């Protein structure tokens, strides 16, 4: 089993869909910078490797005890997005003066 059954495209779609709850809650999306792409892919691969193939005991449901690395990655990506937006707001307010 593989998280991305298609070579290209569904990863972007999955990230877009994953951001919908954030956007609907008036939060910023989690943006993955291209420089963090390797860490992102490695984090997903580590989770998938630790999870192994689907088993009746787990099915397709997440295993929270294995998600700490991915959760940390998402927190870092969100903080970077927040910093970028804050920087843009600061620059915009300087221009308005």
75 marked among binding-site residues? no
Please indicate if the annotation marks 69 as binding a ligand: no
* Residue 12 labeled ligand binder: yes
Q: Is 10 annotated as a binding residue?
A: yes
The residue from 2, 4, 27, 89 that is catalytic is: 4
Q: Count CB-CB contacts under 10 A for residue 74.
A: 16
Question: What ranges make up the beta strands (E) of the chain?
Answer: none
Task: Tell me which DSSP letter residue 59 carries.
Answer: T
> How far apart are the C-alpha atoms of 8 and 39, rounded to whole Å?
18
**Residue 97, annotated as binding a ligand:** no
The question of whether 4 is a catalytic residue gets the answer yes
The count of other CB atoms within 10 Å of the CB of residue 44 is 16
Looking at the annotation, which residues are catalytic?
4
Known binding site for ATP: residues?
8-15
């Amino acid at each position: 089993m593989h998280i991305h059954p298609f070579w290209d495209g569904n990863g972007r779609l999955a990230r877009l869909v994953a951001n919908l709850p954030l956007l609907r809650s008036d939060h910023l999306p989690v943006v993955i910078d291209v420089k963090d792409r390797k860490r992102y892919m490695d984090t997903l691969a580590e989770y998938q490797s630790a999870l192994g193939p689907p088993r009746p005991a787990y099915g397709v449901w997440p295993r929270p005890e294995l998600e700490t690395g991915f959760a940390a990655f998402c927190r870092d990506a969100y903080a970077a997005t927040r910093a970028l937006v804050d920087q843009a707001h600061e620059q915009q307010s300087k221009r308005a003066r």
